Amino acid sequence: MNLKSDNAGPAHPEVMQALAEANAGFALPYGGDDATRAACDRLRAEFEAPEAAVHLVATGTAANALALATLAQPWQTVFCTPLAHIHTDECQAPEFYTGGAKLTLAGADDKMTPEALDRAIAGWPPGDVHASQRGPVALTQVTEMGRVYALDELRALTGIAAAHEIPVYMDGARFANALEALDCTPAEMTWKAGIDAVSVGGTKNGCLGVEAVIFFDPAPAWEFELRRKRGAHLFSKHRYLGAQMLAYLDSGLWRRSARAANEKAARLAEGLRGVPDAAFLAEPQANMIFARLPRAAHQRLHAAGAAYGLHEGPLNTGDPDDPLAMRLVCDWSIGEDEIDRFVEIARG
Amino acid sequence: MNLKSDNAGPAHPEVMQALAEANAGFALPYGGDDATRAACDRLRAEFEAPEAAVHLVATGTAANALALATLAQPWQTVFCTPLAHIHTDECQAPEFYTGGAKLTLAGADDKMTPEALDRAIAGWPPGDVHASQRGPVALTQVTEMGRVYALDELRALTGIAAAHEIPVYMDGARFANALEALDCTPAEMTWKAGIDAVSVGGTKNGCLGVEAVIFFDPAPAWEFELRRKRGAHLFSKHRYLGAQMLAYLDSGLWRRSARAANEKAARLAEGLRGVPDAAFLAEPQANMIFARLPRAAHQRLHAAGAAYGLHEGPLNTGDPDDPLAMRLVCDWSIGEDEIDRFVEIARG
Amino acid sequence: MNLKSDNAGPAHPEVMQALAEANAGFALPYGGDDATRAACDRLRAEFEAPEAAVHLVATGTAANALALATLAQPWQTVFCTPLAHIHTDECQAPEFYTGGAKLTLAGADDKMTPEALDRAIAGWPPGDVHASQRGPVALTQVTEMGRVYALDELRALTGIAAAHEIPVYMDGARFANALEALDCTPAEMTWKAGIDAVSVGGTKNGCLGVEAVIFFDPAPAWEFELRRKRGAHLFSKHRYLGAQMLAYLDSGLWRRSARAANEKAARLAEGLRGVPDAAFLAEPQANMIFARLPRAAHQRLHAAGAAYGLHEGPLNTGDPDDPLAMRLVCDWSIGEDEIDRFVEIARG
Amino acid sequence: MNLKSDNAGPAHPEVMQALAEANAGFALPYGGDDATRAACDRLRAEFEAPEAAVHLVATGTAANALALATLAQPWQTVFCTPLAHIHTDECQAPEFYTGGAKLTLAGADDKMTPEALDRAIAGWPPGDVHASQRGPVALTQVTEMGRVYALDELRALTGIAAAHEIPVYMDGARFANALEALDCTPAEMTWKAGIDAVSVGGTKNGCLGVEAVIFFDPAPAWEFELRRKRGAHLFSKHRYLGAQMLAYLDSGLWRRSARAANEKAARLAEGLRGVPDAAFLAEPQANMIFARLPRAAHQRLHAAGAAYGLHEGPLNTGDPDDPLAMRLVCDWSIGEDEIDRFVEIARG
């Protein structure tokens, strides 16, 4: 019963198989190999974006930091939420890669609203040499609390950005989980909704470590290549990134895995609704659940060896009688039986 | 007959096997897994350095840039040769990670001499606020031209650095090849010879992508951790780095693979001595050969499908009648028959 | 009636006189001159800090950015208020000079409270490689809304910082105005209250352009020198900075000028209390007043040629019937008659 | 007899007078004042460049670093000589401001030749993601050894740069001295000769501290403004920069002062030719002389209190019997009598 994170589970056998198959003979290094080319072509096809610039990197933070550095000038501010991974969990990689950009926090939680974005943008009036200059908006889809922006929510936000002529980046560490939640196409969730650049996560959804970065306007392609190399993120044996991503997309593995994870989370959420005094901190929509359970339930789960994150941040009051906030994440590999057992124990 | 680079060949089956075995169940992310811990312990044991700080990254450029950033202040200069990989082949990753350090070029080729280092250091007198401040010395072992510093050569250089109280970093992208060439222990080639920090390459010698960075004085361990995360080089599914490195060291794979590569290169060099008008640009000592062959030999090799690097830099005069300079690299996987066939064709 | 800013008025005649006197014959460049040495000695004496490291720069932003870069690592966060000059008015100079540090905003206005600082620090738990690391606290004295931290307020804040082993920097762009408001000594307002480093502004209080940066623990002195040079802020004809600062301190000009400015602001505040519907946004304590006046008062003042800042930020509701927020700043040079006339017109 | 540097002498009385006159009443801060506007207009007129972007800063290093950062991407290399001030005397300010650009050294001394530039550029072939990317060429006029590029020498260099589509920056710390040496117009020495951006030094030629940066294509104007502010080089009381520059150009003070300095240097050079065993390290063309004098001459000069720089770098052999290399710099203020006395003592 490991619900700690979708980065703690194993890679999918199909990905491992592809890795083994890629390991034959010589291949051009640094992305010149066939697997990488095929993976990038496949991404362009999946996104109905034949002109898009597509690049692979090995970590989600690299994807975010390199993409934002390409979109933001060092004297600009990125607009994101206070719970954005780029703000809370990347040890200032975005600040490092951008050369000192600022992150302006919009809103109060994981999900940006048009009002919050408007207010944040208004805080930095244009043309003022003393102020931070307006830079890209960064949205996380699935959000850090497991919620999903609906397509019209995305369009409302990207419309505001477009009115201010600032680009929008989507941190898609859990892109496929969002796709499944919305049951839409990659194009609908990105460029058709006004997104300028996106990362497409593989690592949390069955790969060992690979993410794609896509710019729908390919103009920054060469700059990104240089930034990736300068950031030491260009792999010499690049075929192993390409092979992962190709297997991930082939036969729809990315969506299959995401669907499996989402369904387990839905089953888990449904089960937890039956726990007395349980409460959700955000309505579960993808593969993550943020909830409060009574202390006794935690104790039973702990005794049974269940693993999950206890939220130490402002979600918990510190009052020892308070139900504790927890984060439960389902990856592609977790079994229904584990979910059911978790629920059973939680219910007591 | 692929002699293009040791980053173009496949990973070793033992490494692939270890990867598959590591892919079972859940594991703590971000380096908290067992494989990573075991790999780091093993490195400390191999280097007879029980206190050393050991970290894994996925690319050689990350190892170099992060290590140098940890050793150099932004206002300092690194001392390296004009052919150093950190100068010629990393798109200024060291400059990026250090926050703007300078690279002062010592000597004229791939191998630093005490005289060249003395002169370079003297060029930046201490205590001058206008000048670059003296920072670490960076040596590449095996050098970029395939030569190997003898232990007393290393000690002569590190002695100069120590006299100026500046640290010495060894870029060990081909560390095991150098070990085999010198037939010494890791400790002898590093801290016993005055080296302060070293990278130990796995990628070019049978791994998919893993390098270790070792600081013999562990004081900068936490700073390195932060720099690695901020550089987006901390892998969530870190077990796959750990598993590679562990397999690489286990049963002496690193030295076995390096020995195989060196022996093939020696056989190739021996064979090329029989080619009329052939000449070596540097005496081959490990797994790389820099040589000139007559144009006709190149044409025969090309027609036979041999793959290798033609040196476009200052090594070639541009005179169409001149023999062309080439780089031939043997990895662990190349066969004796390929070597022999290459030689045969070269001889005509 | 120019109340726009204390950086719009002229330099004090005593400073101009000193500049003219310094302009005789040759002087050692880059701070080796007598005036600079004397000014730094004088600052050490004024602050009762004979060991302190003292440096001069020409702009307040340079003082802030260089001091913070010396105190903060690139992976750390500075703690400041949302109205801090370093956050709102320096085009990300602190981010640039620190190499990508973050600014974490504590509290809701210009004045930090212990509760707000506690909460902000708690938001970045120590030992987490993914999080921003805790760095220096930055306080502005006089605050950006014209308020002054009392000595016990300072001690409460620096006590929290000390408990977390993080240093405290004071942005003293209006240092002398605060000294006068508190009627205390420089030592009492700084190191005796737990401040680790401070800038002492001259530019806004009668100089042409000079600020001192003082570290009470002189350990970072040489690093600061290198950072200042690397930032292009080391003046070759440094004597003109030294001469300004020396004249500023001599015969107590800094306190005399600040007292004059504070007194004018107090007279102005007193006068504005008589304007119907006037309100202060913050209780005036030094030389700046933030107030709301009825629209008609603004129209009369405008017609009479009065110059001052209209606050365009969140202080104004946008409702055209609302009284408008304004910033009124008194420098050393403004006359009592101008103040009185301003009040008279405002009263209508 | 102070020949140490043109940054050790006093400011010109006309500049001091202008400063005093500018010190009246209120003025818009941050460059919005009349003096700054007039100075920038005057520079555009002097350079026959009505569209040019013109900015003032207070130090030569700020001018160089900000201009290069505007022209170079962080992954590019600047091409300069090994004696370039930006390489040897700015504590890596260019590396800092550019975010990690490299300086590739072309040639062997202070003056770049077309051959050296060609070779340096060829060292970084385009389109290679691993290499440094080609960035701006930086020339110093007057060079660091006191020589002056003739107009056709400039055109030969800028022609090469143009063929590679890289811009050319001129470090004009002694711009007026070069103008006088060539007896040409500012336009002829800059944009008519293919220069894209230039700094025009005031500090070394009679001002307290002011330099202009001019971009003949004004496209980067706003970016430069942001970089200047972010670098903490935007002065609030900017009128004092404007007033200096305006006085400097008015009534031709810049050329008058430069002519005076050059003439003194020529007189000094002429005199030194009569010293037995004297030799020039570079043919004096402007206001700096690099020469060797017999040790006895140095002893006599030293005893008489003459001040000048003894070159400690590679110019001196270290052999105690060798004549010592020296740097003699004439500023606008040095008297003919001092020159004559210096020569007389040197001759013995």
Closest CA relative to residue D94, chosen from D70, D125, D117: D70
Cα distances from D215 to residues B155, C254, D149, D212, in angstroms, run 51, 40, 20, 10
Query: Given its phi and psi angles, is residue C91 left (phi above 0), alpha (psi -120 to 50 degrees) or beta?
Result: left
* Distance in angstroms (rounded) separating the CA atoms of residues C338 and A249: 74
Residue of C nearest to B226 (CA): C129
Q: Are residues C283 and C141 in the same domain?
A: no
Hey, are the CB atoms on B98 and D96 less than 8 Å from each other? no
Please report, in angstroms and rounded to a whole number, the separation of the first and last CA atoms in chain C: 16
Residue of A nearest to D235 (CA): A130
B7 domain residue, yes or no: no
* Distance in angstroms (rounded) separating the CA atoms of residues D172 and D169: 9
Partners of residue B230 in chain C, C-beta under 8 Å: 74-75, 100
Residue at which a domain ends, from D229, D253, D277: D253
Hey, are the CB atoms on A16 and B20 less than 8 Å from each other? yes
Residue at which a domain ends, from B207, B223, B253: B253
Across the interface, which of D91, D102, D123 has its CB nearest the CB of B130? D91
Query: What average pLDDT score do residues D242-246 get?
Result: 98
The answer to whether A90 and A65 are in contact (CB under 8 A) is yes
Cα distances from A340 to residues A270, A284, D136, D284, in angstroms, run 10, 17, 65, 89
* Interface size, chain B vs chain C, as Cβ–Cβ contacts under 8 Å: 31
What are the two backbone dihedrals, phi and then psi, of residue D224, each rounded to the nearest 5 degrees?
Answer: -65, -40
The answer to whether A235 and B209 are in contact (CB under 8 A) is yes
* Tally of CA atoms within 13 A in the half-sphere of A131 that contains its CB: 15
Q: Are residues D302 and D231 in the same domain?
A: no
* Distance in angstroms (rounded) separating the CA atoms of residues C88 and A123: 9
**Residue whose entry in the numeric block shows the structure tokens 């610039």:** A53
Closest CA relative to residue A287, chosen from A179, A193, A195, A199: A179
C238 at B interface, C-beta within 8 A: no
Q: Are residues C159 and C276 in the same domain?
A: no
Hey, are the CB atoms on B59 and A234 less than 8 Å from each other? yes
Question: Three-state DSSP class for D186?
Answer: helix
Q: Are residues A210 and A288 in the same domain?
A: no
Q: Are residues A263 and A187 in the same domain?
A: no
Tell me: pLDDT of C267 over 80.
yes
**Residue whose entry in the numeric block shows the structure tokens 């970045």:** C124
B305 at A interface, C-beta within 8 A: no
B50 at D interface, C-beta within 8 A: no
DSSP-assigned letter for residue B287: S
Residue of D nearest to C240 (CA): D208
For β-strands D197-201 and D168-171, DSSP reports them as: parallel
Residue D229 to chain A, least CA–CA distance (Å): 7
Residue D93 to chain B, least CA–CA distance (Å): 8
The string of pLDDT tens digits covering residues C49-105 is 999 999 999 999 999 999 999 999 999 999 999 999 999 999 999 999 999 999 999
What are the two backbone dihedrals, phi and then psi, of residue D288, each rounded to the nearest 5 degrees?
Answer: -125, 140
Tell me the percentage of chain B whose pLDDT exceeds 70.
Answer: 97
ipTM for the complex shown: 0.96
* Distance in angstroms (rounded) separating the CA atoms of residues D108 and D315: 12
Q: Are residues B158 and B36 in the same domain?
A: yes
Host domain of residue D185: 13-253
Q: Which residues contact B215 (CB under 8 A, 6 or more apart)?
A: B52, B53, B67, B70, B196, B197, B221, B224
Report CA B178 to chain centroid distance, whole Å. 9
Across the interface, which of B23, B28, B61 has its CB nearest the CB of A8? B28
Cα distances from D342 to residues D205, D269, D272, in angstroms, run 21, 11, 9
D74 at A interface, C-beta within 8 A: yes
C330 at D interface, C-beta within 8 A: no
Tell me: pLDDT of D320 over 60.
no
The answer to whether C218 and C53 are in contact (CB under 8 A) is yes
- The DSSP bridge partners found for residue D60 are none
Hey, are the CB atoms on C226 and B130 less than 8 Å from each other? no
* Interface size, chain C vs chain D, as Cβ–Cβ contacts under 8 Å: 143
Strand order in the sheet with C279-280: C279-280, C288-293, C324-329, C309-310
Across the interface, which of B99, B225, B234 has its CB nearest the CB of C74? B99
Q: What is the pLDDT of residue B313?
A: 58
D318 at C interface, C-beta within 8 A: no
Hey, are the CB atoms on C129 and B74 less than 8 Å from each other? no
Q: What is the pLDDT of residue B310?
A: 84
* Distance in angstroms (rounded) separating the CA atoms of residues C136 and C166: 5
Partners of residue D133 in chain A, C-beta under 8 Å: 226
C-alpha angle D287/D291/D295, rounded to 5°? Answer: 135
* Distance in angstroms (rounded) separating the CA atoms of residues B158 and B169: 10
Across the interface, which of D100, D130, D225 has its CB nearest the CB of A229? D130
Partners of residue C98 in chain A, C-beta under 8 Å: 100
Q: Are residues D71 and D90 in the same domain?
A: yes
The string of pLDDT tens digits covering residues B75-107 is 999 999 999 999 999 999 999 999 999 999 999
Question: Three-state DSSP class for A280?
Answer: strand
The answer to whether D74 and D135 are in contact (CB under 8 A) is no
Q: Are residues A239 and A296 in the same domain?
A: no
Q: What is the pLDDT of residue D261?
A: 98
Residue of B nearest to C231 (CA): B75
C334 at D interface, C-beta within 8 A: no
Q: Which tokens hold the place of A223?
A: 């700059």
Residue of C nearest to B221 (CA): C129
D319 domain residue, yes or no: yes
Q: What DSSP element (H or E) covers D295?
A: helix D295-303
Cis peptide before C142 (omega within 30 of 0): yes
Query: What average pLDDT score do residues D152-178 get?
Result: 98
Hey, are the CB atoms on D92 and B74 less than 8 Å from each other? yes
Q: Which tokens hold the place of B222?
A: 């936490």
Partners of residue C227 in chain B, C-beta under 8 Å: 75
Residue B172 to chain D, least CA–CA distance (Å): 18
Give me the CATH number covering residue D331: 3.90.1150.10
B191 burial via Cβ count (<10 Å: 0-12, 13-18, 19+): buried
Domain count of chain B?
2
Q: Which tokens hold the place of A50?
A: 């034949």
Tell me: pLDDT of D284 over 60.
yes
Closest CA relative to residue C101, chosen from A103, A232, A60: A103
Strand order in the sheet with C53-57: C53-57, C211-215, C197-201, C168-171, C133-140, C76-80, C102-105
Across the interface, which of B95, B132, B133 has its CB nearest the CB of D102? B95
Hey, are the CB atoms on B226 and C130 less than 8 Å from each other? no
Report CA A49 to chain centroid distance, whole Å. 21
C-contacting chains (≥3 CB pairs under 8 Å): A, B, D
Please report, in angstroms and rounded to a whole number, the separation of the first and last CA atoms in chain D: 16
C129 at A interface, C-beta within 8 A: yes
Across the interface, which of B133, B230, B234 has its CB nearest the CB of C75? B230
Q: Are residues C103 and C191 in the same domain?
A: yes
C3 domain residue, yes or no: no
Closest CA relative to residue A105, chosen from A80, A124, A139, A77: A80
Q: Are residues D296 and D206 in the same domain?
A: no
Hey, are the CB atoms on C230 and B133 less than 8 Å from each other? no
Tell me: pLDDT of D232 over 80.
yes
Q: Which tokens hold the place of B206?
A: 């049978």
Whole-structure pTM value: 0.97
Higher pLDDT pick, C43 / B294? C43
Residue D58 to chain B, least CA–CA distance (Å): 17
* Distance in angstroms (rounded) separating the CA atoms of residues B94 and C1: 55
Best C91, C105, C118, C316 member to test A by mutation, with max A CBs in 10 Å, is: C91
D157 domain residue, yes or no: yes
Hey, are the CB atoms on C129 and B30 less than 8 Å from each other? yes
A55 at D interface, C-beta within 8 A: no
Which C residues 198-237 touch D at CB under 8 Å?
203-204, 208-209, 226, 229-237
The answer to whether B15 and A11 are in contact (CB under 8 A) is no
Tell me the percentage of chain D whose pLDDT exceeds 90.
Answer: 93
Give me the CATH number covering residue C128: 3.40.640.10
* Distance in angstroms (rounded) separating the CA atoms of residues A210 and A39: 11
Across the interface, which of A77, A88, A100 has its CB nearest the CB of C100? A100
The string of pLDDT tens digits covering residues D83-139 is 999 999 999 999 999 999 999 999 999 999 999 999 999 999 999 999 999 999 999
Q: What is the pLDDT of residue D313?
A: 57
A181 domain residue, yes or no: yes
Cα distances from B181 to residues B177, B257, C69, D204, in angstroms, run 6, 12, 45, 57
Q: Are residues B108 and B228 in the same domain?
A: yes
Which B residues 253-282 touch D at CB under 8 Å?
none
Residue of B nearest to A203 (CA): B237
Hey, are the CB atoms on C100 and A102 less than 8 Å from each other? no
Hey, are the CB atoms on C313 and A102 less than 8 Å from each other? no
Tell me: pLDDT of D342 over 70.
yes
**Residue whose entry in the numeric block shows the structure tokens 């930032």:** C231
Across the interface, which of C30, C73, C226 has its CB nearest the CB of B133? C226
Q: Are residues C185 and C307 in the same domain?
A: no
* Distance in angstroms (rounded) separating the CA atoms of residues A73 and C181: 41
Q: What is the pLDDT of residue D325?
A: 87
The answer to whether D31 and D236 are in contact (CB under 8 A) is no
Q: Which tokens hold the place of D212?
A: 């202009």
Residue at which a domain ends, from A253, A275, A308: A253
User: With bands split at pLDDT 50, 70 and 90, how would you rate the model's confidence at D324?
Assistant: confident
A171 domain residue, yes or no: yes
C99 at B interface, C-beta within 8 A: yes
Residue D232 to chain C, least CA–CA distance (Å): 5
Q: What is the pLDDT of residue C98?
A: 98
**Residue whose entry in the numeric block shows the structure tokens 């208020």:** C81
D127 at B interface, C-beta within 8 A: no
- The DSSP bridge partners found for residue C211 are C57, C201
**Mean pLDDT, chain B, as a whole number?**
95
Total number of residues shown for chain D? 348
Best D30, D75, D222, D228 member to test A by mutation, with max A CBs in 10 Å, is: D75
pLDDT beneath 50, residues of chain A: none
D2 domain residue, yes or no: no
For β-strands B76-80 and D324-329, DSSP reports them as: unpaired
Q: Which tokens hold the place of C120?
A: 């902000």
pLDDT beneath 70, residues of chain B: 312-323
Tell me: pLDDT of D275 over 60.
yes
Best C64, C92, C124 member to test A by mutation, with max A CBs in 10 Å, is: C92
D1 domain residue, yes or no: no
